[in-house]
Amino acid sequence: MVVLADAFSEDEKKILEPYFTNLDKPVFAFTSRVPEEVVAVLFSKYSRSQHSIRKNFLDLVKDPESGFRGILDALATGGSSDAFATALVKARDFFRRILVEYGDDSVGELGIAHVACEDVSQIAAKRIESARLMSPLEKSTRYVVFEKGRYYRPATIMNSKLAAEYAAVCDELFETYSSEIEATKAFVREKWPISEFDFGGKKISGMADEAETKRAKSAYESSVKAKALDILRYYLPAATVTNLGVTGNGRAFEYLISKLMSDELEEVRAIGQLMHQELSKVIPSLVKRAAPSNYLVETKKAMHSFASARLSGIKIKKQPTVTLVNYDRDAETNVVAAALYQFSHHPLQQLLKMAKKMTAEERMKVIDEYMGKRTNRRERPFRAAEAAYYQFDVLSDYGAYRDLQRHRMMTQIPQLLTVEHGYDTPPEIVEAGFGNEFNKCMKKAAAVYRKIAAEMPNEAQYVVPLAYRIRYIMQFNLREAYHLIELRSVPQGHPSYRHVVQEMFRQIKAVHPTLVHYMRYVNMDELDALGRLKSELRKEEKLASLDSKK
């Protein structure tokens, strides 16, 4: 048992108790009452202090220069806002000096903040979510009906002669999307009637229990709505506004803000400025260096010009939706050597030579021991699986891209969203009798896009519907391949991105069958039923269970 070195007096315990989850154990957490900058300061002291966090907390309280006592007193007594503001200014000046002493970069990772970004376009949302070290969560096109007229109107377009055409096509896309929701839900019910499904092993017609029947019908209707909205999201323009929340540390936010402030789009730059203003109210010491970057701005401009001149007149070759462009030819050897390395004392170069000399059966034995005991998709292979990599060139509809883009443990490089690669048509749109209307909307959007793109190629992205294809690189290691492919191939996934990851699996298997032998939880079925039905039923059953315990 660990014996703590610290012993606190009764007075000290009274000070500490509101801010820590315990005072007598070696593992504890801060309560929500401790400001994030204080957390960063206290953690930073671990590197240069013999004392514990709780002892350093007391030292901050007792130090008259810190201003921290004034903050705590104001919070505890509900004191005047003027007193609190004065104490906060003093404390933050004190914290800045500590953060400079201990190193801004590392300490910036110790303070966490949460930011809500509302009424931002799909284009801007993707810019925000591209940050690797963030945890974003966005409004879903599957569960939420997007209201008519709720789209971003960029000033550069709205102040141009194309304003009316831009608004007209966005309005028509939204109007068509909205007008087809109920008809599409009716089509889904007819194509996949409730009578065909099992609910916990029972058909709806065989249920005598009223509560059980109600849960089954609720799950079915939720799945019908999700399926209908999955089909109709192809109409939505990239200008469609959404809401998202972002959680991250100060260092990640500082870099994200700099990137946003340096973007080509006015909307994105404005979001960066607002994010900086608001985070300066909660973690100012951790985002103080965020600013537009001349390096980012000038490099992008130069590369746009260079690529345009160099590639002008070169015809774009056609290729499949998913293409494995590059991969590690020595992947099996590298993974085997890395797997042995973790559990030995030998240098990597020696293990690589040994792995190369092994027979295929001998390497398979190592891989079997290393990966073969997985029992579900959440049990990911150990890190030796990161010794192999795969680079894919993907051409998918923008809706699929916005879902796959959430996977940030990889390198993703998107091109500009355009209409030049064509669009995908959900087969259900045609089956439901909306094919002509859909094609008409897509062609109108393309015509307006081309007019805007002639003068404003970046802003022209806003008018492009989610049905249009975008090209992007996805490069990841074998360990991430297990996570990405098994997760995104589940039956409740959208058919568009399921197709992408299923094809990734086929192509990786073709070159490295041994390494994906234990990727057991890939679903390769071509599903066209209500994929979310089982998960919706589980949700209803969990809610019923919670209600019964009240």
Close Cβ partners of 123 (under 8 Å, ≥ 6 residues apart) = 238, 239, 265, 267, 268, 417, 461, 462
Q: What is the mean pLDDT of the chain?
A: 89
Selection from 66, 40, 64, 63 nearest residue 53 by Cα: 40
Six token digits for residue 485 = 């492919």
Residues 6+ apart with CB under 8 A from 486: 377, 519, 521, 522
Q: pLDDT (tens digit, 9 = 90+) per residue, 398-448?
A: 999 999 998 888 999 999 999 999 999 999 999 999 999 999 999 999 999
pLDDT at residue 95, as a whole number: 64
The DSSP code sequence of 85-100 is HHHHHHHHHHHHHHHH
With tokens 């959440």, the residue in question is 378
**Per-domain boundaries in the chain:** 10-110, 317-417+468-519
> Which one-letter amino acid corresponds to residue 126?
K
Name the more confident of 390 and 80: 390
Residue for token pair 């109107």: 153
Rounded Cα distance between 525 and 455, Å, is 45
Q: How confident is the model at residue 1 (pLDDT cuts 50, 70, 90)?
A: very low
pTM to 2 decimal places: 0.87
State how far the Cα of 545 lies from the Cα of 550, in Å rounded to an integer. 9
Is residue 197's pLDDT more than 90? no
Distance CA 533, CA 188 (A): 13
**If pLDDT is split at 50, 70 and 90, which confidence band does 328 have?**
very high
8 A C-beta contact, residue 260 and residue 268: yes
* Contact by Cβ (8 Å): 401, 414: yes
How far are the Cα atoms of 75, 212, 263 from residue 278, in angstroms, in the given order? Answer: 21, 48, 19
pLDDT above 80 (res 464): yes
Over residues 466-500, the pLDDT tens digits come to 999 999 999 999 999 999 999 999 988 899 999 99
Contacts of 358 (CB under 8 A, 6+ apart): 336, 366
Distance CA 245, CA 539 (A): 23
| Fold of the domain built from segment(s) 317-417+468-519 | Gyrase A; domain 2 (3.30.1360)
Would you place residue 207 in the very low, low, confident or very high pLDDT band (cuts 50, 70, 90)?
confident
In order, the DSSP letters of 461-506 are GGG-BTTBEEEEEEEEEHHHHHHHHHHHTSTTS-HHHHHHHHHHHH
- Mean pLDDT across the stretch 50-74? 79
66 pLDDT exceeds 80? no
State pLDDT tens for residues 267-309: 999 999 999 999 988 888 788 889 999 999 999 999 999 999 9
